């Protein structure tokens, strides 16, 4: 339930009433808050809304009557949902209603285990391999939504990100280790600078908690960041979840990922990604994530301690190749 002490209670209640009326529902909606961004609380809120037997997710942006952000996202989701209808066993959330002011929209609520949950809960090799393959299949369809083009790879931003973490002087990771790995990465980036690679309409935030696996269906959602970009970055975003899988060091390839899982992902993913570019991008992503763990967060947060350990194990192997 929403709290009446919420400063936006009246405004959200009006949104709920508009949606319920539009759906022909006369009763009182059942509501639960799923997400509020700590950084952009007015722009990014998500509610779960139950109207009788039907369940929906409602995205709210109080500024979208001016920015039209949600109207654009809703229209994009409609087009993408139609695109996925042409693929077997792949889909997105179905858009249902855009408010008159454009400050919220509703879509069907997907209630299945995420890929991340599947990977955490199962140690069976066959299960984990299929999670990676299905992720690759879904991403193939996503990257076929608009015409793919060629662009020039420029990975210098990764070195800039690492340097920014060093300058902040808050890293838990030892400075000497980060600098050593950064210097190796910088040389590799120079070696592949401006290599041609595919640009595609990309998810933009394709991590394992943004993909759900239903019986016979694979869904991905949260397409707020969808745009044209280097296709390989979506592959990196998903495959970095692999750090939480335990495997002997000899099973880890030079990108820092378990070789068989990478293989299964690319059995599903049908578009060509240059392996050398993938290696550089993945190593850079893992190093940025490691350097981003700050001393204060590490000291009080067990999940960050685990992430730190897993990243260090993978980076030590990747940068020893």
Mean pLDDT over the full length of the chain: 95
Predicted pLDDT at 2: 74
Predicted pLDDT at 166: 98
Q: Please state the domain extents for the chain.
A: 9-108, 115-318
- Indicate whether 308 pLDDT > 70: yes
Q: Can you give the pTM of this predicted structure?
A: 0.93
DSSP per-residue string spanning 26-84: -SPPEEEEEEE-SS-TTT-EEEEEEETTEEEEEEE-TTHHHH-HHHHHHHHHHHHHHHH
Token pair 């015409």: residue: 147
Phi-psi region of 307 (alpha: psi -120 to 50; beta: other; left: phi over 0): alpha
What length is written for the chain?
321
- Pick the residue with more confidence: 121 or 147? 147
pLDDT grade, residue 1 (50/70/90)? low
Cα 25 from Cα 128, distance rounded (Å): 41
What architecture (CATH level 2) is domain 9-108? 2-Layer Sandwich (3.30)
Q: Domain 115-318 classified CATH 3.30.1950.10?
A: no
Per-residue pLDDT averaged across 211-234, rounded? 94
Predicted pLDDT at 321: 64
Cα 232 from Cα 46, distance rounded (Å): 29
Neighbours of 81 (CB within 10 A): 17
- Indicate whether 269 pLDDT > 70: yes
Per-residue pLDDT averaged across 123-151, rounded? 94
- What phi, psi does 215 have (nearest 5°)? -60, 115
What percent of the chain shows pLDDT beyond 70?
A: 99
């Amino acid at each position: 339930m929403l709290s009446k002490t919420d400063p936006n209670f009246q405004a959200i209640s009006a949104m709920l009433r508009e949606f319920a009326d539009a759906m022909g529902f006369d009763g009182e909606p059942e509501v639960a808050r799923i997400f509020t961004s700590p950084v952009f609380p007015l722009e990014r809120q998500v509610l779960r809304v139950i109207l009788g037997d039907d369940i929906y997710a409602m995205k709210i942006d109080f500024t979208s009557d001016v920015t039209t952000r949600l109207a654009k996202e809703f229209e994009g989701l409609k087009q993408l949902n139609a695109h996925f209808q042409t693929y077997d066993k792949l889909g997105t959330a179905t858009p249902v209603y855009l408010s008159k002011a454009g400050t919220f929209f509703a879509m069907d609520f997907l209630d299945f285990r995420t890929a991340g949950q599947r990977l955490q809960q199962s140690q069976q090799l066959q299960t984990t391999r299929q999670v990676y393959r299905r992720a690759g299949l879904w991403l193939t369809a996503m990257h076929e939504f608009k015409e793919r083009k060629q662009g020039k790879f420029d990975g210098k931003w990764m070195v800039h990100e690492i340097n920014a973490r060093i300058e902040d002087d808050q890293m838990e990771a030892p400075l000497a280790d980060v600098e050593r790995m950064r210097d190796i990465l910088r040389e590799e980036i120079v070696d592949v600078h401006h290599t041609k690679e595919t640009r595609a309409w990309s998810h933009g935030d394709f991590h394992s908690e943004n993909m759900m696996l239903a019986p016979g269906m694979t869904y991905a959602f949260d397409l707020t960041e969808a745009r044209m970009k280097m296709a390989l970055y979506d592959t990196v975003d998903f495959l970095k979840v692999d750090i939480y899988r335990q495997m002997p060091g000899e099973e880890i390839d030079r990108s820092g990922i378990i070789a068989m899982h990478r293989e299964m992902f690319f059995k599903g993913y049908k578009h060509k990604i240059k392996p050398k570019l993938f290696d550089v991008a993945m190593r850079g992503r893992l190093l940025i994530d490691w350097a981003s763990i700050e001393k204060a967060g590490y000291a009080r947060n067990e999940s960050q301690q685990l992430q730190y350990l897993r990243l260090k194990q993978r980076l030590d192997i990747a940068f020893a190749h």
